[in-house]
Amino acid sequence: MISKAIEDRELREHIASLPPDGREVFLIADGTARLSIVSATTMINQMKANHGTGPLETYILGQGYIAAALLSSAVKGNDRIRLDIECGGPMKGMSVEAWASGAVRGYLMANPIPLTQPLASLDTSPIYGPGFLTVTKILEGSRTPFSGRVMLEHGNLAEDLALYFRESEQTPTLFYLSIRFGRNGEVRGAGGIFIQALPGCPEETLAMLEEKAASFGMVLGDAIAEGMSANEYVEKEFAGFRPEHIAHAPIGFSCPCSRANFSAYLKSLPAAEKAAILSGDFPLVLECFNCGTDYSFTKEETEDLFREDL
C-alpha cells in the first residue's frame, strides 16, 4: 500500500496533536460486560486521502472502518473479521475488513455515492436502502470462515450491527459510531464504542448501559477532536460502571497489497489477455480497491513480465 498525502497542513498539525489511534478493551459492571473503544481520527483521514472520498462517503465508509476496528477486538493472532453490506440504495454496499492486529482496509461499492438531492439530515437509511449485512470471521488455520447475515432493518450501521449480534449470536450488544467534521469537510475526531453483555449480565445493567449509550455527556468524536484519549473518555463517561482496562492495540489504515503482488497477478493472466493488454494504452494502471493505491506499469515493464509466456 502507498499512503497518499494528507494535503491540509493545519489538519496534519491537528492530527499530530492528538493521542495516537488505538483500540482499548475494558471489563465493566464488575466483569459482566465488555467494552471496546477506538480512537480513529488518523485512520479515517488517511482513508479519506487514499480513497478520495467526499464528506458523505467519508461518513459512510468511515463508520464501516470504525465498526470493523471495534469488531476486530473479538479475534486474535492473525485472524481477521470482514464486514460486508449489499444494498439497493445509492451506496450499493461496502466491504471492510480488520485484522486482530488493528490493520483496517476496505471500500465503497459506489464512490462517489450518487444522490438526486442533498441529504437533509444524518439519517443514512435512504443511502442504504434494502439489503443485507454480513459479518465474517476468517480464522487462521480454519478451512471455512464463519459468517452470519441479517437483513438491514434500520439503514444505520450501529443499529444494524446490534441487530446482527442479537439475532445471529443471541448477545445483547450496543454500538456507538462517531465522526466529527470540521468546516471544510475534514475529520477532526473519530471513534466508536462496542459493548457486549457477558454471561450473567443482569437485565438492569443492560438497561443502564443502553441509557448511557443514548446520552453521553460528551460526544465521542468531539472529545477525541479536543484531545481526550479513549481511556480518559471511558474513565469519565463510564466511571459508574467501574471500568477495568484489560487490553490495548494500535489501529490504522493498512493494506498488504504491493507492486509485487500485482506483478504476479499480471504474469498469471491467460496469454490472450496478455496480448490484449499489450495492444492497449500505456502506462497500465491497476488499482487496489481496498486501499485506493494505484500501481503503474510501462509497456516495457509489462513486456518483461509477459515475455516468458509470449
Q: How many other CB atoms sit within 10 Å of the CB of residue 16?
A: 8
What CATH superfamily is the domain 259-309? HSP33 redox switch-like (3.90.1280.10)
Query: CA 68, CA 59: separation in Å to the nearest integer?
Result: 14
Domain ranges of the chain: 9-253, 259-309
In tens, the pLDDT along 143-168 reads 888 999 999 999 999 999 999 999 98
Separation CA 43–CA 278 (nearest Å)? 38
Residue of 25, 41, 292 whose CA lies nearest to 181: 41
Q: Considering only residues 217 and 6, tell me which one the structure prediction assigns the higher pLDDT.
A: 6
pLDDT confidence of residue 308 = 63
Tell me the pLDDT tens digit for each residue of 264-280. 999 999 999 999 999 99
Query: What is the average per-residue pLDDT within 75-97?
Result: 96
Task: Please check the confidence at residue 235 and state whether its pLDDT lies above 90.
Answer: yes
Cα within 13 Å of Cα(148), Cβ side: 14
Residue 309 binned pLDDT confidence (cut-offs 50, 70, 90): low
List the grid coordinates of 280: 492497449
Other C-beta atoms lying within 10 Å of the C-beta of residue 121: 6
| Separation of alpha carbons 138 and 97, rounded Å | 10
CATH of domain 9-253: 3.55.30.10
